[in-house]
């Protein structure tokens, strides 16, 4: 960033906050030049200190709120300001929902090229939560030591790898603190070293917990800097302690000896209990292995999938593709109402889960393929002369590969249902699909991640009949 001549580092200013940026930070402008200020809200007058002046914009620290916003609330979590997990705890929940609906709208207009008026006629109200706390079914806590050398677990501070100790995250389940305390106490008792990123030494890297909210089943997985679980001192005692916690049905270890930022290893070892937990969404039962993707907010997932099913508008005869299918969550949800469902997913263990899940639910009109969606689908189309009626995609944040979008357009399905966790890449992909002959027929945002700046969306595209 080259330095702007108008503003200096450490310069103090008084500004009016005008809007919220995509990451939930307040934005103030002086003569069109924007300042990004974490924790500031629109409508507020505030004292700020410039921390990083740049050519086109600056970052600044919020020193003092002179006039607070009517939407400002006291964060529930004492670590809210320093923890990187939540960005919007200081904003009233209703206003959070408005912010998210507007963020999606703006991305569809600016990146997707859609007309504001057209959007208004296809937008459905954002689906919010009644109780926007303790909604997560999964946590991944980094483990380290504090200045006194005591083992700690918690969350990373924003944009850093400094661990903020926190065993009571307000987004997670209350049982997490019991599990964490058990692991940390064991580490103290047996002198089990935590992993040190800077040296690459030590053992325990992360503690992962996941529960099936409907079944009450829990898995605890330790990510370790060793090839085998035998490296953990007092393993059988730890295993006994964890398995005696109410609900814990699985204790696993994932070896990860790499130096990078990737949290989990590529495989896992089951130390005690089952190699998966079970959960239900609607009528469908799912087995979930610890490395497979599973939506983190099960209450909202049920509403999201119900909306995807509504958009898919199935009568029982359709051929449906579910791309980026994970453990087959959406595939099986749709399979009850479709003729045939084919899922594609890159992670082999997730596809194993998907096949098993199809079997336990008796949904035999499904087929699952391991591989990249952008490779599997074109290859299938080349060798099979078959039409798809509905294509569902649910890609990770980076959105769909362009080869995949082209293939989808060439397959001319009646409907495309796009589930997205990043409305910017969604808008980019919708533009391509729109140019390829699809109309944006309806869309709905869903608040899967209250208190954070993230938002999920589901979109229905229909083939334009000219
Ligand atoms: N539809 C599922 C999973 C969505 S998350 C659900 O709702 O639970 C996105 C999934 O895409 C992850 O499981 C990830 O492993 C998978 N994935 C990422 N890149 C992929 C690619 N190129 N092709 C197929 N799957 C991919």
Closest by Cα among 419, 128, 87 to 299: 128
Q: Please tell me the predicted confidence (pLDDT) of residue 387.
A: 85
Task: Please state, in angstroms and rounded to a whole number, the distance separating the CA atoms of residues 203 and 414.
Answer: 52
Q: What is the mean pLDDT of residues 382-409?
A: 95
Integer angstrom CA distances of residue 6 from 13, 14, 30, 54, 145: 12, 15, 10, 10, 42
Residue 399: predicted pLDDT: 98
For residue 466, pLDDT beyond 80: no
3-state secondary structure of 31: coil
Residue 212, C-beta contacts closer than 8 angstroms, at least 6 positions apart:
137, 218, 277, 278, 279, 280, 288
pLDDT value at residue 5: 66
Residues in the chain: 466
Beta strands 284-288 and 319-323 are unpaired
- What average pLDDT does the segment 335-349 reach? 95
Atom of ligand 1 at shortest distance to CA of 305? Answer: 7
Q: What is the pLDDT of residues 15-37, one digit of tens each?
A: 999 999 999 999 999 999 999 99
Q: Exposure string (b/e) for 137-171, b if CB count within 10 Å is 16 or more?
A: bbbebbbbbeeeeebbbbbbbbeeeebbbbbebbb
Q: How far apart are CA 103 and CA 88, in angstroms?
A: 14
Ligand 1 neighbourhood includes 347 CB (under 6 angstroms): yes
Upper half-sphere CA count for residue 204 (Cβ side, 13 Å): 29
Question: Model-level pTM?
Answer: 0.93
pLDDT at 320: 98
Closest C-alpha to ligand 1, atom 19: 346
Q: What is the pLDDT of residue 319?
A: 98
- pLDDT of 6 reads 82
Q: What percent of the chain has pLDDT over 90?
A: 94
User: Tell me, what's the pLDDT at 374?
Assistant: 98
Residue-wise pLDDT for 396-413, tens only, equals 999 999 999 999 999 999
* Sign of torsion over alpha carbons 307, 304, 212, 171: negative
Query: Residue 159: what pLDDT?
Result: 83
What is the per-residue pLDDT for 206? 98
Q: What is the mean pLDDT of residues 350-365?
A: 96
Residues annotated as part of the active site: 421
Residues above pLDDT 70, as percent of the chain: 99
pLDDT band for position 386 (cuts 50, 70, 90):
confident
Flag whether pLDDT at 3 surpasses 60: no
CB 331 within 8 A of CB 368: yes
Angle at alpha carbon of residue 44, lines to 42 and 46, rounded to 5°: 125
**295 Cβ below 6 A of ligand 1:** yes
Phi-psi region of 412 (alpha: psi -120 to 50; beta: other; left: phi over 0): left
Residue 268 beta carbon below 6 angstroms from any ligand 1 atom:
no
The tens digit of pLDDT for each residue in 418-460 reads 999 999 999 999 999 999 999 999 999 999 999 999 999 999 9
How far away, in angstroms, is 295 Cα from ligand 1 center? Answer: 11
Structure tokens at 222: 């330790």
Tell me the per-residue pLDDT of 83-132, one tens digit each, with 9 for 90 and over: 889 999 999 999 999 999 999 999 999 999 999 999 999 999 999 999 99
Q: Note the pLDDT tens digit of each residue in 293-323.
A: 999 999 999 999 999 999 999 999 999 999 9
Pocket mutation for ligand 1, best pick of 266, 301, 326 (most atoms within 8 Å of C-beta): 326
Q: What angle do CA 142, 143, 148 make, to 5 degrees?
A: 135
Banded model confidence at residue 254, pLDDT cuts 50, 70, 90:
very high
3-state secondary structure of 250: strand
419: Cα separation from own chain's centroid? 12
426 Ramachandran zone, left/alpha/beta (phi>0; psi -120 to 50): alpha
Query: 323 CA to middle of ligand 1, Å?
Result: 7
Give the number of other CB atoms < 10 A from CB of residue 216.
14
Average pLDDT, the chain: 95
Is 70 exceeded by the pLDDT of residue 253? yes
């Amino acid at each position: 960033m080259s330095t702007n001549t108008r503003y200096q580092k450490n310069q103090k200013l008084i500004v009016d906050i005008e809007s919220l940026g995509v990451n939930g930070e307040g934005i103030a402008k002086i003569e069109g030049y924007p300042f990004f200020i974490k924790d500031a809200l629109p409508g507020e007058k505030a004292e700020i200190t410039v921390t990083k002046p740049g050519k086109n914009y600056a970052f600044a620290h919020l020193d003092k709120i002179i006039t607070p916003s009517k939407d400002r609330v006291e964060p529930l979590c004492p670590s809210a300001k320093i923890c990187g997990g939540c960005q919007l705890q200081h904003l009233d929940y209703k206003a959070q929902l408005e912010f998210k609906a507007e963020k999606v709208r703006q991305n569809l207009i600016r990146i997707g090229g859609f007309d504001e008026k057209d959007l208004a006629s296809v937008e459905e109200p954002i689906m919010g939560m009644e109780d926007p706390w303790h909604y997560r079914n999964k946590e991944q806590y980094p483990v380290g030591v504090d200045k006194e050398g005591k083992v700690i677990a918690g969350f990373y501070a924003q944009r850093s790898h400094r661990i903020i100790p926190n065993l009571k995250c307000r987004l997670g389940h209350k049982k997490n603190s019991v599990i964490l305390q058990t692991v940390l106490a064991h580490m103290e008792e047996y002198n089990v070293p935590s992993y040190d990123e800077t040296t690459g030494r030590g053992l325990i890297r992360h503690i992962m917990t996941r529960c099936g909210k409907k079944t009450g089943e829990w898995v605890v997985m330790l990510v370790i800097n060793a090839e085998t679980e035998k490296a953990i001192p007092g393993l059988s005692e730890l295993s006994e302690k964890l398995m005696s916690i109410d609900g814990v049905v699985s204790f696993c270890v994932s070896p990860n000896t790499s130096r990078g930022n990737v949290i989990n290893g590529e495989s896992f070892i089951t130390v005690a209990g089952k190699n998966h937990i079970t959960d239900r969404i609607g009528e469908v039962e799912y087995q979930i292995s610890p490395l497979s993707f599973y939506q983190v907010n099960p209450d909202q997932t049920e509403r999201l999938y119900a909306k995807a099913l509504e958009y898919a508008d199935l009568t029982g005869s359709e051929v449906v593709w579910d791309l980026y299918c994970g453990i087959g969550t959406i595939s099986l949800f749709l399979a009850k109402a479709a003729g045939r469902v084919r899922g594609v997913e890159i992670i082999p263990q997730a596809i194993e889960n998907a096949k098993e899940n199809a079997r336990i639910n008796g949904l035999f009109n499904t087929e699952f393929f391991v591989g990249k969606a952008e490779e599997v689908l074109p290859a299938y189309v080349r060798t099979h002369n078959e039409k798809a009626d509905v294509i569902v995609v649910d890609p990770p944040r980076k959105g769909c590969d362009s080869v995949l979008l082209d293939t989808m357009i060439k397959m001319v399905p009646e409907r495309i249902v796009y589930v997205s966790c990043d409305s910017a890449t969604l808008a980019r992909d919708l533009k391509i699909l729109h140019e390829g002959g699809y109309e944006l027929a309806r869309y709905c945002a869903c608040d899967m991640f209250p208190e954070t700046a993230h938002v999920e969306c589901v979109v229905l595209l229909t083939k334009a009949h000219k």
